[in-house]
Amino acid sequence: MKTNNHFLRQFVLALFIVMISGCASHYQDTKQAVVSTVLSKDGSQILFGTQGQGEITLVFVHCWTCNHKFWTPQIAYFSNKHRVVWLDLAGHGQSGSVREDYTMSAFGEDVAAVINEVGGDKIMLVGHSMGGPVSIEAAKILGDKVIAIVGVDTFYTPFEYPKSEADIEGFVKPFKDDFIGVSQQLVQSMFMPQVDAKLKASIVEQFSGQNPEMGVSAIYEIFRWNAKNFPSGLARYSNKLRNINAAETGNEVALHESVTLIPGVGHFIPQVKPDEFNAALNNIISEYR
119 and 190 part of one domain: yes
Q: Specify the pLDDT at position 14.
A: 37
77 and 17 part of one domain: no
Name every residue whose Cβ is closer than 8 Å to that of residue 271 and which is 6 or more positions away in sequence: 70, 73, 199, 203
3-state secondary structure of 89: coil
Per-residue pLDDT of the chain (289 residues; tens, 9 = 90+): 444 444 333 433 333 333 323 333 333 344 689 999 999 999 999 999 999 999 999 999 999 999 999 999 999 999 999 999 999 999 999 999 999 999 999 999 999 999 999 999 999 999 999 999 999 999 999 999 999 999 999 999 999 999 999 999 999 999 999 999 999 999 999 999 999 999 999 999 988 788 999 999 999 999 999 999 998 889 999 999 999 999 999 999 999 999 999 999 999 999 999 999 999 999 999 999 8
CA angle 253, 255, 272 (to 5 degrees): 70
**What is the Cα 198 distance to its own chain's centre?**
22
- According to DSSP, the β-strands at 83-87 and 45-51 are antiparallel
Residue 1 belongs to domain spanning? 1-31
Q: Specify the pLDDT at position 31.
A: 67
22 and 89 part of one domain: no
166 and 195 part of one domain: yes
67 and 204 part of one domain: yes
236 and 148 part of one domain: yes
Q: Specify the pLDDT at position 75.
A: 98
Give φ, ψ of 246 to 5 degrees.
-80, 145
6 and 52 part of one domain: no
19 and 99 part of one domain: no
Say which DSSP state 228 is in. Answer: H
207 and 237 part of one domain: yes
14 and 100 part of one domain: no
Q: CATH number of the domain that 259 lies in?
A: 3.40.50.1820
Residue type at 24 in one-letter notation: A
24 and 155 part of one domain: no
What domain count does the chain have?
2
Check: CB of residue 232 under 8 Å from CB of residue 155: no
77 and 18 part of one domain: no
179-188 vs 197-206: helix crossing angle, rounded to 10: 150
In this structure, how many other beta carbons lie within 10 angstroms of the beta carbon of residue 90? Answer: 26
Query: 222-229 long-range contacts, Cβ below 8 Å, gap at least 24?
Result: 222/64, 222/104, 222/130, 222/133, 223/161, 223/162, 223/168, 223/171, 223/172, 224/168, 225/103, 225/104, 225/133, 226/133, 226/161, 227/161, 227/162, 227/163, 227/164, 227/168, 229/133, 229/136
Distance of alpha carbon 237 from alpha carbon 242, whole angstroms: 9
